[in-house]
Structure 1
Amino acid sequence: MSRSPTQSSAGQPLKVLHVAETIRGGIASYLNELHPQQQAGFGADNVHYVVPSDHRNDLIGVDDSQITTFGRSGRSVSGLFQMLRASMQALDAFRPDVVHLHSSFAGLVLRPALAARSEAPRVVYCPHGWAFARETGRLSHLVTKAAENILARTSDRIICISGDEFNEAIRAGIPADRLTLVHNGISRSRPLPHSAAADWTSTKAKVLFIGRLDRQKGFDLLIEAARSLEDVLDVRIVGASVISKLEARAVPPNVSLLGWLDRQQIETHLEAADLVVIPSRWEAFGLVALEAMRAAKPILAFHSGALPEIVVDGVTGVLCEPVAVQPLVDGFRRMLDLDLKVLGQRGYDRFKQFYDVQKTHRQLQQVYVELLDDRKTRVGETTELQSDLSKPF
């Protein structure tokens, strides 16, 4: 039996416009997991995206009619202007009830622009990791924290994807009544691996890394740890550099660079791996952790950001600290002394209990509806007040 679309305050199907300056990696995974839920809940014609043209293919199963793209050459002022222009065009054509902004640059550019419009839609902002919580200089930290505090006033609701992100916002002085905690989730239905198994036979422990090759993700720490454990680890790295180039000659013989792979290829390598490593220096959430748990693979990670909320040390994986090469080496050694299959099964059970995307969708839908109901109430109160003031004494 088909469901009727969720209604806006005007009695029409609720319309949501998602905007992102970049989606490669975690945000693409987030949107791809959420899209089938929102399309079913709101209707296919009522969910739209503004994304960079070079990332369009990162959105899987989304029709071209649901996407507005903008051109850019890397992260630049010109690219941000193109995003702003494409978003304003989509806003006028699509007329959404809610604009859902993803990550810092979309929030920085779009929130002031939307605040300046009359009859603007409700604005929901998801930082996907606070810029001020990253490893930056003191001045950058202070500036980004001040900017987020100011821009919070132009956000109807700020979605925090982990308890760590929520707590960082409170510590930064962002009002709690602007914040809502909505944990990330992914589908229980795992994408099918390729029918052919990955060509990955080794007498060593098979370790998989998935993510951008940048400082945040800690790939440099992994390479050095792998170099120290060349006799016991066979490491495969799925992903590519966003900012700088990593030379294949810079990695030890037991590390293979695979580049970006499609979802089926990733699942094939997950199937073959013994464990997944997430050596991030900071991490707002870490969807890769959920993908690993769904595949019943144990996780090695640093005690950093939201990862301690997801990975239970000694139960579903191993957490190590501080963030450095030697603790990561020690973490690998500790993990290899445990029963990896038992840890992986416990991780799968934990995933089913806490991280279903249907729960994420229901909570986001509740936020959207509450914001629209609140606007309807305010409009009604304003109309009633104006009516009362127009009456003669």
Structure 2
Amino acid sequence: MKQLIWAFGRHLNRTTENLAHVMAEEFHYEIIPFSTEVSRLRRIPAMVASVRMIRGKLKAFSSIHPWTKKQVHLPSELENIPTMVIMGSQIIGNGPHFFYQDLDVSSILRDREQGKPTFMYDDVPLSLLQKLNDMQFHEYRQAQAIFTMSDWVRTSIIKSGAIKSQDVHTVHAGSNLGAHFSSNPYAEKNLAAQTLVFVGRDFQRKGGNILLRAWPKVLQELPLAQLKIIGPYREDIGQELSPSIHVLGPLSNQQIIHEMSQCTGLVIPSLWEPYGIAFLEAMSMGLPVIGTRHMAMPEFIVPGTGYLPKPYEVDELAEAMIRLLTQTHTTWKMSRNAFLHAQAFQWSQVAAKMDRVLTSIMKN
């Protein structure tokens, strides 16, 4: 059996677990989980080095500081085993290293230098981002291959010049809902519901405030329309809401499946979205989707599966929502297209693409 270190950050998230499961069950890898988390005590030097006063509060960036990354090493008995780093780019042993990424540091740095919002990275000092970018460049040079969720980030990584284009492979991602539908479950009741659903805990980054500004324009045309918001708590939204808006908070996968099954479409007008697995999950249930023409989203929200207004454009977003809820013949066709398109985004297919590259490299 082929051994593979499965290196992840603080927590085993659903992407990390689902891909590891498929690699083990379908492609017969012995997956060896390894957390790259560094204890708070060992991060003290990085805390001291990175602390800043931001908006009247002290804030440190020890978890992403280069010094912290350098503290992570595989134990001696594992250090020569091939290593897959999930959503990161660390060299932690002597064996071949592979990275699976939805985002690279140079993309963050580029947006910051251009004055664009990067949300969770807005407060990171530019000097620290530059150090991380330099470090990632050297990590890329040592990697045997890099797997990316999107062509968008693949292009950015190739532009760095650290690794040859033939060694960077777009493999995409899959649904994390834990449900597979052999046929499109979308039905007449979905069209009749006149209900859209938003899914995402990071409400502001995912365009939640833009959505709330656009929603009254929808109600002017469709007074009975409803909007469900899954992910944030009511207090996270921080403004008065129309009775037509229902904040459901964080839900389990089964609850999300149930709520989506009652809706007409998904809307996440994200302002900064490296990928967006929630779109794939909705499409796997036949829901047409509304995203934005930004970053990786146009790669999988292809024509005929949904709408892509410009980010921040309230009127364009409102028009897209109205069209999805009123042009039922088009929406029905979009449902069929979305469901069929989603079949190309499965963890089994991601793992198969990875396995071909890994097997070729291991043989050589």
User: TM class by shorter-chain length?
Assistant: 0.7 to 0.9
Q: Of 327, 344, 357, which residue of structure 1 is paired with 2:347? A: 357
Q: 2: distance between equivalents of 1:356 and 1:190?
A: 11
154 and 259 in structure 1: CA distance in 2 versus 1, 3 angstrom threshold: farther
Residue type at the aligned position of 1:162: S
Write the deviation string for residues 152-195 of structure 1: whole angstroms up to 9, x where unpaired.
21322221111122122233444324412212134897269xxx
Equivalent residues in 2 for 1:162-201, closer than 5 Å: 162-175=150-163, 176-186=165-175, 190=179
Deviation at 1:203, TM superposition (A): 7.7
Equivalent residues in 2 for 1:205-216, closer than 5 Å: 205-216=194-205
| Partner-residue secondary structure (3-state), 1:335 | helix
| 1:35 paired to 2:11 | no
| 1:136 paired to 2:124 | no
| 1:223 paired to 2:212 | yes
Would you say the 8 A contact 1:15–1:42 is kept in 2?
Answer: no
Q: 1: distance between equivalents of 2:34 and 2:256?
A: 25
Q: 1: distance between equivalents of 2:25 and 2:264?
A: 36
- TM-score when normalising by structure 2: 0.74
| 1:367 paired to 2:357 | yes
Q: Of 304, 313, 318, which residue of structure 2 is paired with 1:329? A: 318
Would you say the 8 A contact 2:6–2:86 is kept in 1?
Answer: no
Higher helix share: 1
Structure 1 match to 2:84: 100
Larger radius of gyration: 1
- TM-score when normalising by structure 1: 0.69
Would you say the 8 A contact 1:191–1:263 is kept in 2?
Answer: no
Write the deviation string for residues 234-291 of structure 1: whole angstroms up to 9, x where unpaired.
21121138xxx72454444332222221111111111111101121123332211111
234 and 187 in structure 1: CA distance in 2 versus 1, 3 angstrom threshold: closer
Would you say the 8 A contact 1:226–1:254 is kept in 2?
Answer: no
Q: 2: distance between equivalents of 1:132 and 1:325?
A: 29
260 and 153 in structure 1: CA distance in 2 versus 1, 3 angstrom threshold: same
Structure 2 match to 1:318: 307
Percent of residue pairs bearing the same amino acid type: 17
Q: How many residues align?
A: 320
Q: 2: distance between equivalents of 1:92 and 1:41?
A: 29
Q: 2: distance between equivalents of 1:215 and 1:131?
A: 21
- Runs of 5+ consecutive residues of structure 1 not aligned to the other structure: 6-12, 53-68, 193-199, 375-393
Q: Of 327, 330, 336, which residue of structure 2 is paired with 1:345? A: 336
Q: 1: distance between equivalents of 2:144 and 2:192?
A: 54
48 and 159 in structure 1: CA distance in 2 versus 1, 3 angstrom threshold: same
181 and 75 in structure 1: CA distance in 2 versus 1, 3 angstrom threshold: farther
- Runs of 5+ consecutive residues of structure 2 not aligned to the other structure: 44-58, 115-124, 182-188
96 and 35 in structure 1: CA distance in 2 versus 1, 3 angstrom threshold: farther
Structure 2 match to 1:152: 140
Q: 2: distance between equivalents of 1:252 and 1:147?
A: 48
Structure 2 match to 1:48: 33
50 and 147 in structure 1: CA distance in 2 versus 1, 3 angstrom threshold: closer
Deviation at 1:75, TM superposition (A): 8.2
Q: 1: distance between equivalents of 2:337 and 2:80?
A: 42
| 1:239 paired to 2:216 | no
Deviation at 1:316, TM superposition (A): 1.4
Q: Output the aligned Cα RMSD.
A: 3.7
Moved more, 247-256 or 279-288: 247-256
